[in-house]
């Protein structure tokens, strides 16, 4: 019985028709749609249609072999990621190494064992699903961010900063039980959503150069509550999705301050979720070192100074300590992913007035 309800399509590449047909039959039994190509050249034509998430390829084939095929797929990664599994002889370690080096994700010995193949495909499917989720979230975040930040890489930097801070904190005894791999992956995926509530802020406030009036500032602060409420509704609808819960926490609390003077709820200390405290530091560092319509970019050193001085008032002292340990890495990411602007030494305002954090 064939059941091809799953949307994932698998491309089987083998010059041996018997092996190819056996593989295609296995795919149909696992519930995947599949197509067969007899060599690498033919396979590439199929891959370019963008319809195949997974390619299972023999290594030795005429015209274009499996390793060359893999290189070609990696060289033109236009339609999203393609997961490549190579079929190799049991003892063929050279081609395994060569294949992985060419960008193959996995290999399986030939002839394949059906149960093993099914497990390997599931692993590929999981990776593809996670990747498409990540792309989807990031696309949404970019869309929201594009109104006030059309060309910048603000979101790309934020998630890198958050990941760095988490990786550091995860090595500290008091965070070892809290920050694990899933936590780090979740903050990397969801931190770009922190300002999603800005979609509800009118242009005259969002895009206003210079300082905001108290009334305008009040409107601006609503973005945290609006983003938080929206994401909370989604998180409640999908309670098993841990990353949605974190997305909600971050959107809601990234403007809370350690001393309780932040918004929207005036939470203080550890009542503020850790993810919100981490994003707060990452977001402020990025805001300080970026040029905005209402301010020039500050130097890295100036930003570090401001964050150090705000430890225990604005920021969680532990997160600031981690930030100061990682300071050089922040500078590197800022250089690598930075928007092209000139630094200024920064005006001699107090941090609260110099940056319009929102």
Using CB under 8 A as the criterion, which residues of the chain lie in contact with another protein when the complex forms? Answer: 1, 15-19, 21-22, 25-26, 29-30, 58, 60, 62, 110-111, 114-115, 118
Closest CA to 190 of 143, 145, 231: 231
CB of 22 to another protein, least distance (A): 6
* Residue 9 or 223 having the CB closest to Fe ion: 223
CB of 141 to Fe ion, least distance (A): 12
- Out of 39, 160, 195, 249, point to the residue binding Fe ion (CB under 5 A): 195
CB of 92 to another protein, least distance (A): 10
* Residue 38 or 192 having the CB closest to Fe ion: 192
Q: Tokens for 299, please give them.
A: 């130097």
* Residue 58 or 160 having the CB closest to another protein: 58
Evaluate the CA torsion angle 63, 66, 67, 69 in order and state its sign. Answer: positive
202, interface contact from Fe ion, another protein, none, CB < 5-8 Å by kind? none
CB of 217 to Fe ion, least distance (A): 13
CB of 33 to another protein, least distance (A): 17
Q: Which residues face 87 on adjacent strands?
A: 58, 108
Q: Which stretch binds Fe ion (CB under 5 A): 101-109, 195-203, 272-280, 336-344?
A: 195-203
In three-state form (DSSP H/G/I as H, E/B as E, the rest C), the secondary structure along 285-311 is: HHHHHCCECCECEECHHHHHHHHHHCE
Residue 52: which residues within 8 A CB-CB, separation 6 or more?
Answer: 9, 10, 11, 35, 46, 82
Q: Which stretch binds Fe ion (CB under 5 A): 11-19, 149-157, 187-195, 340-348?
A: 187-195
CB of 358 to Fe ion, least distance (A): 5
39, interface contact from another protein, Fe ion, none, CB < 5-8 Å by kind? none
169, interface contact from Fe ion, another protein, none, CB < 5-8 Å by kind? none
Q: What are phi and psi of 36, to 5 degrees?
A: -115, 135
Looking up tokens 């406030």 gives 205
Q: How many beta carbons lie within 10 A of that of residue 267, not counting itself? A: 19
Q: Does residue number 286 form part of the binding site for Fe ion (CB under 5 A)?
A: no
Distance, CA of 350 to CA of 65 (rounded, Å): 63
237, interface contact from another protein, Fe ion, none, CB < 5-8 Å by kind? none
* Residue 110 or 314 having the CB closest to another protein: 110
Q: What is the DSSP string of 212-242?
A: PPHHHHHHHHHHHHHHHHHHHHHHHHSTT-H
* Residue 26 or 318 having the CB closest to another protein: 26
- 252 CB burial (10 A radius; 0-12, 13-18, 19+): buried
Q: How many CA atoms lie within 13 A of 139 on its CB side?
A: 6
114, interface contact from Fe ion, another protein, none, CB < 5-8 Å by kind? another protein
Binding site for Fe ion (CB under 5 A): 195
């Amino acid at each position: 019985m064939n059941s091809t309800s799953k949307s994932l399509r698998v491309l089987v590449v083998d010059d041996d028709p018997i092996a190819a047909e056996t593989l295609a039959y296995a795919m149909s039994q696992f519930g995947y749609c599949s197509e067969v190509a007899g060599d690498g050249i033919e396979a590439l034509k199929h891959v370019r249609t963008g319809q195949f998430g997974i390619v299972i390829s023999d290594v030795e084939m005429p015209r274009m072999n499996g390793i060359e095929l893999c290189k070609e797929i990696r060289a033109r990664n236009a339609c999203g990621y393609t997961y490549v599994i190579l079929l190799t002889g049991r003892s063929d370690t050279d081609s395994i190494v060569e294949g992985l080096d060419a960008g193959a994700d996995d290999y399986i010995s030939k002839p394949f064992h059906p149960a093993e193949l099914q497990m390997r495909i599931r692993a590929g499917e999981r990776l593809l699903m996670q990747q498409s989720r990540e792309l989807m979230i990031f696309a949404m975040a970019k869309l929201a961010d594009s109104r006030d930040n059309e060309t910048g890489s603000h979101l790309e930097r934020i998630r890198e900063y958050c990941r760095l801070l988490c990786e550091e904190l995860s090595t500290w005894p008091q965070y070892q039980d809290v920050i694990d791999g899933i936590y780090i992956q979740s903050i990397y995926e969801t931190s770009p959503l922190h300002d999603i509530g800005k979609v509800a802020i009118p242009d005259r406030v969002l895009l206003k150069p210079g300082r905001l009036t108290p009334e305008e500032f009040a409107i601006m602060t609503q973005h945290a509550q609006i983003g938080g409420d929206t994401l909370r509704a989604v998180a409640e609808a999908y309670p098993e999705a841990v990353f949605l819960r974190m997305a909600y926490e971050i959107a809601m609390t990234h403007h809370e301050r350690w001393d309780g003077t932040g918004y929207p709820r005036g939470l203080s200390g550890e009542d503020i979720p850790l993810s919100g405290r981490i994003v707060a530091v990452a977001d402020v560092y990025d805001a300080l070192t970026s040029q905005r319509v209402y301010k020039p970019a500050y130097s890295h050193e100036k930003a570090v100074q401001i964050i150090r001085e705000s430890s225990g008032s604005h920021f969680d002292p532990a997160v600031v300590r981690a930030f100061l340990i990682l300071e050089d890495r922040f500078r590197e990411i800022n250089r690598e992913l930075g928007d092209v602007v000139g630094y200024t030494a920064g005006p001699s305002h107090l941090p609260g007035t110099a940056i319009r954090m929102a």
